Structure 1
Amino acid sequence: MVVGRHAGRAYIGSFTAAGGPGVLTAAVDPDTGALTAIGATDAVADPSYLALSPAGDMLYAVSETTDGALAAFRTTGGAPELAAPLVPVGSAPTHLALHAGHVLTADYRSGSVTAVPLGADGTPAPAASGQLRHTGSGPHPQRQQGPHAHQVLPDPSGRWAVSVDLGTDSVRVCALDGNGDLTLHREVALRPGSGPRHLVFHPRGDRAYVLNELSPTLTVCAWDAEDGTLKPLGEVQLLVDVPDGDVYPSEVVVAPDGRFLWTATRGADVLSVLALDEAGDTPRLTATVSCGGHWPRDLAIDPSGRHLYAANERSGDVTWFTIDQETGIPRQAGAIEAPAASCVIFD
């Protein structure tokens, strides 16, 4: 493929401890969605999750290590280049997001959310300005002995930061003040033992879908940005038949037009297709398809809404799919080698 000036970029995070290349940069064919590797950097250990600045000139990554750190790269035509020293955050951060001039990290092992302020040039401050520690536990004897913040993201209004905690079966709604301090506004309990992992908002902004890792289900919630209120409405199964062995949902994405929702489930190694009604209250499972590899840790949709991408951690590849615009069913169209892949994002 010839990389033209209109081709986009994808960034793939991976676990260097498992043989991953670190952050892999790929060109994206705007017509087919095909990926072509153009550079990589292993300057940071285990950059498992990534986020781009609004201008696309800065790439942020968690270092999912015991100590835990935030890295900032300047994006180039090839491999991103470190722009500043690493900033310590909580232990084993698994997710990050930009919010109100800060990068927020969800720190799985320490059960916390950390706020790191950004300078005018987009580089992080030498030290985090605030950290909110979760408390609590759940019924699972191994996975829920304490809090495990797995994701943090701003709500569509930009007023709130929402953190999803697998260990406490809850979602926390937080406020970030001008000093970078996080304060808890409200904690919302979900079904005990469900193990919430990730959340995505409907494009309309008044519904949220929480993916549960410890059971293959999706919790549908109403979201009120004015009051910062999340209200569970019900659960939906993600698999017709749950296979024996380890089955762990990993990611959920929604179509830009709000008609479909897709999830990835490790162990079963499938993508589930759910059709959304107009209200968004009753997702309906319509199909499951192979993820094209093994252990899909992440699922992403490209900016055009025409292609899905699965980061298959254990088979070491990223597969891409063309979405049928009438049915929402993805059809595999190709794959790129990406050892220990954990995340895919687009500029």
Structure 2
Amino acid sequence: MKKTFRVLFLAAVIPTIALANTSSTSPPIEAHLLYASVGEKLLGYSIDPDNASLTYLSETLAPANVQFAVKNNAGDILYVVSSNAGNGTLGAKGDTHVLSSYRIDLKTGELKQFGAAIALPERPINVGLDHLNHFAVVAYNQSATLSVHPINEDGSVSPAVAQHQVPQAGIFTHQVTFTPGDKTVIALARGNDAVANVPDQPGSVNTFTIDEQGHLSKLLTDSIETGIGPRHLAYHPSKPWVYVSMERGSKLYMYPLESNGTLAAKPAFRKETLQNKANLQTTRQRGGVIQINPNGQYLYVTNRADATVEQDGKQVSAGGENNVAVYKIDARTGEPRLIQIIDGQGIEGRTMKVDPSGKLLVVANQKTLWVKDGKTLKKVRSNLAIFRIKQDGKLEFVRKYEMDDEKKALLWMDI
């Protein structure tokens, strides 16, 4: 099997290690398992938090380009949504859209599809599970709707539940999650910037109740101010605090989580995420994803910029910030206070994850682009960038694993 990445690292920090493919006869893997997608390929690795390293394990082909995936609570099943549609609102519609279940071999990291692959009506962009693994809820950005799929006793998924009303989830739905305790389902909708004669289409937070049969009922829609649109949220591990990354506007909001499972009407805190506020005017400068350290003390948000200009026949980065903003969370109020902004080591950190030990942060940089390096150009490949989390919550870059396939995006990663 072909090796799927190259490794670059800080030689002064960690010595070179050999990276080899691992067959099913290899000894059990004790480290955590990391999965990433490049196009339709699901790549499996073991992650060693102490040495801040990855070891390649396996490759599995999904029915189409992987859009998103999520593990169940036990960590032994991976639910994957894939599609051959294009990205964004103007992308090609495609004809293959699938929700699949894969059993994870916890010793070898290998994935094995089981149960029926469920055909979906259009490109899925996100999927969320309830904490008891009764339902998988899929979000669609084009139709701005949700579908609910019961999870069978063996962990496989079923076709969508017929809803009493179409669950409208806001313009350009981007993420769907269950709140702690599974009281409600929250869908974030990014909205769209004003274009030509079309005014700004507002982002929104859409909250639903869900019954035992999987029927969704809209509880509340909260619109966000003009020019701001949510992409991704994260729940604090022990406090009723919800942190929301605003893709449009590059902001971080903190909302108290109400007892009925809705977000407070107004955020308690609004924070900037960019190092240079002038980049708010940079084309395609956007907020990304949020991760909270398992200790609840630190929070990480990506800033992303992938606009290009043509130079010497190449698509070259037009600038902007591709970095990670680090915040310390006030234990009393939940206020996030910026303590560091560090280079993300690639272009467009679409997904990232803190490993369960809280020792490492892995950033999946989605794209391969040329960038200006003085008077010359250098190619920055899509990669998995490994950062050590220090005692004070700040990040220290260790190494990155570059993807071989430059034509396909590193669209998703999770541990």
TM-score by length of structure 2 reads 0.75
Deviates more, 1:78-87 or 1:106-115: 78-87
Aligned counterparts of 2:300 and 2:156: Cα–Cα separation in 1: 34
Percent identical residues: 24
Stretch moving more, 24-33 or 337-346: 337-346
Aligned partner of 2:71 among 35, 52, 69? 52
The offset of 1:52, in angstroms, is: 0.9
Q: How does 1:231-310 map to 2 (within 5 A)?
A: 231=265, 232-242=267-277, 243=279, 244-267=282-305, 268-310=321-363
Deviation string 1:193-233 (CA, Å, 9 cap, x unpaired) is 21110111112231111111111101111111335343322
Count of residues in Structure 1 that have an aligned counterpart in Structure 2: 329
SS of the residue aligned with 1:62? strand
* 1:160 equivalent in structure 2: 184
Residue matched to 2:194? none
- Structure 2 residue aligned with 1:325: 391
Which of the residues 215, 218, 225 maps onto 1:181?
A: 215
Partner Cα separation in structure 2 for residue 304 and residue 71 of structure 1: 28
CA–CA separation in structure 2 for the residues paired with 1:320 and 1:41: 23
2:33 match: 9
Q: Residue 280 of structure 1: CA displacement?
A: 4.2
Judge conservation of contact 2:302–2:324 (CA < 8 Å) in 1: yes
* Residue equivalent to 1:200: 234
Kept after mapping to 1: 8 A contact 2:49/2:355: no
Instruction: Classify the secondary structure of the residue corresponding to 1:47.
Output: strand
Give yes or no for contact 1:250–1:297 (8 Å, CA) kept in 2: yes
1:142 — aligned with what? none
4+ runs of 1 displaced by more than 6 Å? none
Structure 1 residues 43 and 344: alpha-carbon distance in aligned structure 2, compared to 1, 3 A threshold: closer
Q: Retained in 2: the 8 A contact 1:90–1:112?
A: no
Taking only aligned residues, the RMSD between alpha carbons, in angstroms, comes to: 2.0
Q: CA deviation at 1:97?
A: 1.4
**Cα distance in structure 2, aligned partners of 1:229 and 1:78:** 37
8 Å CA contact 1:320, 1:335 repeated in 2: yes
Distance (Å, rounded) in 1 between the aligned partners of 2:366 and 2:228: 23
Alignment-derived partner of residue 91 in structure 1: 122
With 63-72 and 38-47 compared, the bigger mean Cα shift is at 63-72
Which protein is bigger by CA-based radius of gyration? Answer: 2
Match of 2:46 in 1: 27
Counterparts of 1:157 and 1:78, CA distance in 2: 30
Q: After TM superposition, give the deviation of residue 92 of structure 1 in Å.
A: 2.1
Residue 135 of structure 1: CA displacement?
Answer: 6.2
Relative to the length of structure 1, the TM-score reads 0.88
Q: Secondary structure at the match of 1:157?
A: helix
**Structure 1: gaps (5+ residues):** 17-21, 137-146
